Structure 1
Amino acid sequence: MNSRRNFLQKITATAIAFQLPDLILASTDEADQQLYEGPILRVAIMGLGSYGTRVADAMQASKKAKLVAAISGTPSKLKDWQSKYNIPEKNCYNYETFDAIKDNPDIDAVYIITPNALHKDQAIRVANAGKHVICEKPMSINAKDGQAMIDACKKNNVKLLVGYRMHFEPKTLEIIRMRKDGELGKVLFFQGLCGFTIGNPTQWRLNKALAGGGAMMDIGIYAINGARYMIGEEPIWVTAQETKTNPEKFKTGVDETIQFQLGFPSGAVASCLSTYTMNNLDRFFLNAEKGFAELLPSTGYGPIKGRTNKGELNYPHVTHQTVQMDEMAGIILEGKQPIVPVDGEEGLKDLKIIDAIFLAVKTGKKVPLKL
């Protein structure tokens, strides 16, 4: 018992020092789960596909967030969710009727997990209903639409958060802490490799009208966002090159593989790869004057594995979406400030970079960035 107590004391002190998410320390012990008596964020999930289900399952372990409603265009999914997650029928809506959430006091926020091109209109409708918006990344398909979402949420005095689950991941946060504290020295280089071989050619992710692109709008955004929080600066230019080996599967406007490079004010550079045709690509590497940091895998559902020049990074794995929802509840209900932002302005920066990457591919030129 003493050894367990000592271990818990050490890990608690470490987490406080690093400002890591509360849930890193969470126990599955029922008594521990009952200790939290603060406000609960009551969430509706919009889009009941595979990732919506993953989030819903993860929320069953949340202390600060509770799934209370569902929005879908498929009646059978709504019936299944009513049974599986104990959602009352009055809290189930379709895409035509969900504006009625305005009159439902059970719902505080809506988590939008639908195809990218639908995010803008759906987020605006949720904001107009007076509910907080949580939107899966990318926030939308371009910066113009992203700005419209931000404006609508500001107008309605509701928060807009983006599903950047890695912003709460402990090994990621430890590398950020080391960089901030100067332990790595001046950052010189970042590499982000993100890709997998995509399957069904008829899925929405390969439909430009719904996805807004291809791999870049799905997996590539991890490298874009990762370059920014790992280096700790905003890029000032981008160059990019596209490779397409299967134009039948990856039609016009749907990128298969893009290599892109980012330049930062300090002189640091990032070299990144986004692809739908290569497996085993999930690696971040940061090189600096005094050391290095690596995450491999870097953005998968976990466990994330990390090491630096000082050794392996060891933190217990907690389901990312569970941590994300508890942390977002803290942001919305308690005004908590995350170490790495997850708000609409953060999402807009990534969209501006994506717009610039597509422009760089099209023109073959270095495109300046002003974020």
Structure 2
Amino acid sequence: MKPLKPPYTRRQFLHDASLTLFSMSNLAALGAYADNTNVQREKMLSVHKAKGKLGIALVGLGGYSGGQLAPALQETQYCYLAGIVTGTPSKAVEWKQRYNIPDRNIYNYQTFDKIKDNKDIDIVYVVLPNALHAEYVIKAAKAGKHVICEKPMAITVEDCDRMIAACKEAGKMLSIGYRLHFEPHNMEIMRIGQKKQFGSIKRLIAENGFSGAGGWRLDKQLAGGGPLMDVGIYCVQGCRYTTGIEPVAVWAQEGPKTDPDKFRSVEESLTWQMEFPNGIIAECKTSYAQSMNVLRAEAENGWAELSPAFAYGGINGKTSKGDLNFGQVNQQARQMDDFAQAIVNNRPTPVPGEMGRQDVKILQAIYQAMQSGERTTI
């Protein structure tokens, strides 16, 4: 007989067994407990639905889902964690218990297509390695679900086009997980830059990197590249939303590989420059070997800087006129709530698939420039 899991320990079970046989009444009690737990889960779902909340299913239960999205969904007002998709049975059990997810809302990658019949799930959030984004966004759209896709949207522009087309054909909305569009400091630097509060921007600096990357992030087939595809994309985004205009050309230089074996298929670091209309130049860096996190705009009559700029929390900002005194927010909760409201109110999301496509187009141009050593138009 298999030992029961906590709250019953093996020692407790053996002690109980020494006093009496495990009777049918005990089994019935356990069954009743499980039934009662399922009833409680169904009641919780009913409460969410009664409040008009939309159900989200997370596809992929890695570090970002577990560390950021699931906790954020405990704070959202307009959506909730309704289901999960995972290829790891132990994670299914853990998440089911932690977040009171009913069995019928738990899927693996072989049963994913059955999600089309689940009325609890309105939105599918794809949180998989980059190369799998296109496949599961398209599957989710065909299942009749609205979709959020983590960044980068995909690893090729062609995949982005297929994703956008699939969602349009299904009549479903597609949003990219650009959480910083809902973060007050970043929203302010958007306003400062786009409204030209300090005059026209002349120069941008954007840097984002960390050390210790591993797993699929170092596999080009899954990631599409190295730190540029992971954290460098924040620099591209930051420059785009600070200016409100699009870059027209790029130059790029790959950094040295301190560990050639580890970084045999992807870059370890990358420096690039983006040329914008009106002579604006953005100087950007990304790395898997060095910590950096800054976004700075220098204009005719002043400057604005965020440091850290792209973190999940603790974002800090200042300008030539003083500090930016905004409180910290749960970025992911605000991001997901906004998408839920966009669906309910039938309005566009501020971070649509077309925005993600443009980033991928720029990322591919940066890699082309890195390989050629020449200025590459976008």
Q: By the TM > 0.5 criterion, same fold?
A: yes
The amino acid of 1:82's aligned partner reads K
Establish whether residue 119 from structure 1 lines up as the match of residue 133 from structure 2: yes
Q: 1:164 aligns with which of 178, 186, 190?
A: 178
Give the Cα separation in 2 of the matches to 1:320 and 1:206. 27
RMSD (Å) for aligned C-alpha atoms: 1.4
Partner of 1:58: 72
Give the Cα separation in 2 of the matches to 1:325 and 1:128. 21
Partner of 2:169: 155
Partner of 1:316: 327
Partner of 2:353: 344
Establish whether residue 101 from structure 1 lines up as the match of residue 115 from structure 2: yes
Q: What secondary structure, in the 3-state scheme, does the structure 2 residue paired with 1:146 have? A: helix
Give the Cα separation in 2 of the matches to 1:68 and 1:189. 45
Partner of 2:230: 218
Displaced runs of 4 or more, over 4 A:
none
The amino acid of 1:131's aligned partner reads K
Contact 2:193 2:297 in 1 (8 A): no
- CA spacing shift, 1:256–1:120, aligned 2, 3 Å: same
Q: How many residues align?
A: 328
Partner of 1:358: 367
Q: C-alpha displacement at 1:234, in angstroms?
A: 0.4
**RCO comparison, higher one (Cα < 8 Å, 6+):** 1
Contact 1:39 1:333 in 2 (8 A): no
TM-superposition CA deviations, 1:145-170 (whole Å, max 9, x none) = 11111111111111110000001110
Give the Cα separation in 2 of the matches to 1:305 and 1:134. 27
Contact 2:76 2:333 in 1 (8 A): yes
Give the Cα separation in 2 of the matches to 1:335 and 1:267. 38
Establish whether residue 92 from structure 1 lines up as the match of residue 101 from structure 2: no
Give the Cα separation in 2 of the matches to 1:335 and 1:38. 18
Q: What secondary structure, in the 3-state scheme, does the structure 2 residue paired with 1:166 have? A: helix
Give the Cα separation in 1 of the matches to 2:364 and 2:91. 34
Q: C-alpha displacement at 1:332, in angstroms?
A: 2.0
Give the Cα separation in 2 of the matches to 1:268 and 1:57. 39
Q: Which runs of 5+ in 2 are unaligned?
A: 1-46
Give the Cα separation in 2 of the matches to 1:102 and 1:233. 39
TM-superposition CA deviations, 1:41-64 (whole Å, max 9, x none) = 210000011101120111101101
Give the Cα separation in 1 of the matches to 2:231 and 2:276. 22
Give the Cα separation in 1 of the matches to 2:227 and 2:140. 28
Larger radius of gyration: 2
- CA spacing shift, 1:170–1:335, aligned 2, 3 Å: farther
Contact 2:194 2:243 in 1 (8 A): no
Q: What secondary structure, in the 3-state scheme, does the structure 2 residue paired with 1:45 have? A: strand
The amino acid of 2:321's aligned partner reads K
Q: C-alpha displacement at 1:130, in angstroms?
A: 0.6
Q: What secondary structure, in the 3-state scheme, does the structure 2 residue paired with 1:266 have? A: helix
Contact 1:150 1:160 in 2 (8 A): yes
- Pick which of 254-263 and 239-248 moved more: 239-248
Partner of 1:327: 338
Q: C-alpha displacement at 1:182, in angstroms?
A: 2.9
Q: C-alpha displacement at 1:107, in angstroms?
A: 0.6
The amino acid of 2:272's aligned partner reads F
- Point out the structure with the larger helix share: 2
Partner of 2:248: 236
Q: Which runs of 5+ in 1 are unaligned?
A: 1-33
Contact 1:110 1:132 in 2 (8 A): yes
Give the Cα separation in 2 of the matches to 1:49 and 1:177. 34
Give the Cα separation in 2 of the matches to 1:77 and 1:273. 36
Q: C-alpha displacement at 1:292, in angstroms?
A: 0.5
Percent identity, aligned pairs only? 45
Give the Cα separation in 2 of the matches to 1:305 and 1:315. 8
Partner of 2:86: 72
The amino acid of 2:358's aligned partner reads K
The amino acid of 1:261's aligned partner reads Q
Give the Cα separation in 2 of the matches to 1:335 and 1:178. 29
The amino acid of 2:86's aligned partner reads S
Give the Cα separation in 1 of the matches to 2:112 and 2:300. 53
Partner of 1:250: 263
Structure 1 length-normalised TM: 0.86
Q: C-alpha displacement at 1:244, in angstroms?
A: 2.9
TM-superposition CA deviations, 1:115-160 (whole Å, max 9, x none) = 0001011111011001011000001111111111111111111111
TM-superposition CA deviations, 1:270-316 (whole Å, max 9, x none) = 0100110112x000010001211000000001121001112111111
Q: C-alpha displacement at 1:176, in angstroms?
A: 1.6
Give the Cα separation in 1 of the matches to 2:149 and 2:109. 16
